[in-house]
Amino acid sequence: MTATTPAPRSALAEPTTSPPGRWVAAITLASIGLWAGFFGPIQVLLAQQAEEIAGDDKKVVLSVVLGLGAFVSVVCNPVFGAFSDRTSLRMGRRLPWVAGGAAGGALSLLLLSVADNVVVMAIGWCGVQATLNAMLAAVTATVPDQVPVGERGRVGGILAVAQTVGVVAGTGIASATGSIAAGYVVTAGVLVLLALPYCFDPRDIALAPAERPPAFDWGGFVRGFWISPRQHPDFAWAWLTRFLVNLGNALGLLYLLYYLQDVIGVDKDEADDRVFLLTAIYAAVIMATTVVFGIWSDRTGRRKVFVTWSGVVGALASLLLAVGQSWPAAVAAAVLMGVGYGIYTSVDFALITQVLPGAEDRAKDLGVINIANALPQVFAPFIAALILLVVEAAGGVTETNGERFSVGYCVLYAVAFLVAILGSVFVNRIRSVP
């Protein structure tokens, strides 16, 4: 009897076997580098650069730069995801975009390292957002490409840990390198180095000739980004809930450095270290919860109850920042936010992969979902700046018995709380996932 070689799995088929541990490790390392590239600048470097370039106008400059970058992210993530879905190279659909995105992100970070005016700063950050979102779209799509449904909570939890480690690593690099330029250069090197293991072992599956998309048509390409809420209501509710929860988080985090300086009264030279400490606390709590709850969700087969309560817990962190306005309150908020976001990130990711319309457009559809991550970064800086400018002009910061209280930041974090609560409630409108 002649042994037969099993036919290779289709790129569009649902995976049924677990990927090897080395692949999970490689995608985890790539994710750490990716998120370090995003959050080293967001948490510390861009705020420092805005202050160095613009002085007292730092909030306006930071809002403009972050808003422009987030707009680029909104466009590029689904667009590059769609191009990834259509890629028919022998090396696969995802690898070219992971490797190219890492290289482009590193070059953009190097441009930021020499930026000495607002224009170059904005161009550099938009470049980071464009290239790293190409990488993010491909990395995210590898999970439904390679991981069976019943294991996505666990893998989603591992990637949530990777995101958290990346945030801490990026913030730590930015705080420890001693200069803005050095922070960008080291972050660029870490991004490329951590992407290499995946590039050498991607397990990427090329599209078979029969699976390749038809000839490119711009009209059909653009129309493909509209996913009808009437035809796919669960996808629409998943998008809306993620948008609201991320908007609440963005409102709470974008001005954390200035909150510590201007409200709590932390010295400017110490504020970076305090941001890093809060980030480390947040990260430690996420790593202690996210994989555990991801596995728990896999075993029970339930997603919505975890997503709902994680959003509520995260929202309470914003409420505590609104009314506490002290260093102990900030530490407690970091713990609550870590618990809430750790559970949310792993389980909501698994939920989203189960409401995608089809296998042939996974990266594009996940890119559309990722708009719900990126669009709040467009709106949040302007919403936050407007609230602070208007309310602070009316009330300002008061000080009683040595304790400060900012009406503006109270309103800002109260809005963040309400938005996140709405996102947590609306997840129960999803019907196809328990």
Domain boundary assignment for the chain = 21-205+229-429
pLDDT-derived band at 49 (thresholds 50, 70, 90) equals: very high
pLDDT in tens, 99-136: 999 999 999 999 999 999 999 999 999 999 999 999 99
Helix (H, G, I), strand (E, B) or coil at 405: strand
* CA–CA distance, 184 with 239 (Å, rounded to integer): 32
In one letter, which amino acid is 367? G
User: C-alpha distances in angstroms, 263 versus 132, 170, 279, 405?
Assistant: 33, 25, 18, 7
* CA–CA distance, 370 with 306 (Å, rounded to integer): 20
User: Contact at 8 Å (CB) between 239 and 376?
Assistant: no
What is the structure's pLDDT at 394? Answer: 61
For 123, other C-beta atoms within 10 Å of its C-beta total 16
What's the rounded mean pLDDT across residues 72-94? 90
Transcribe 383-394 into DSSP letters.
Answer: HHHHHHHHHHHH
What is the structure's pLDDT at 3? Answer: 44
What's the rounded mean pLDDT across residues 37-58? 90
Fold of 21-205+229-429: Growth Hormone; Chain: A; (1.20.1250)
pLDDT-derived band at 98 (thresholds 50, 70, 90) equals: very high
What's the rounded mean pLDDT across residues 249-275? 83
pLDDT in tens, 282-328: 888 988 999 999 999 999 999 999 999 999 999 999 999 999 999 99
What is the structure's pLDDT at 129? Answer: 95
pLDDT in tens, 391-415: 876 666 666 656 678 888 999 999 9
Which of 7-21, 109-123, 277-291, 370-384 is the most confident on average? 109-123
- Please work out, in degrees rounded to the nearest 5, the angle formed at the alpha carbon of residue 158 by the alpha carbons of 46 and 342: 65
Transcribe 63-105 into DSSP letters.
Answer: HHHHHHHHHHHHHHHHHHHHHHHH---TT-SSHHHHHHHHHHH
Q: Which residue has the tokens 């987030």?
A: 70
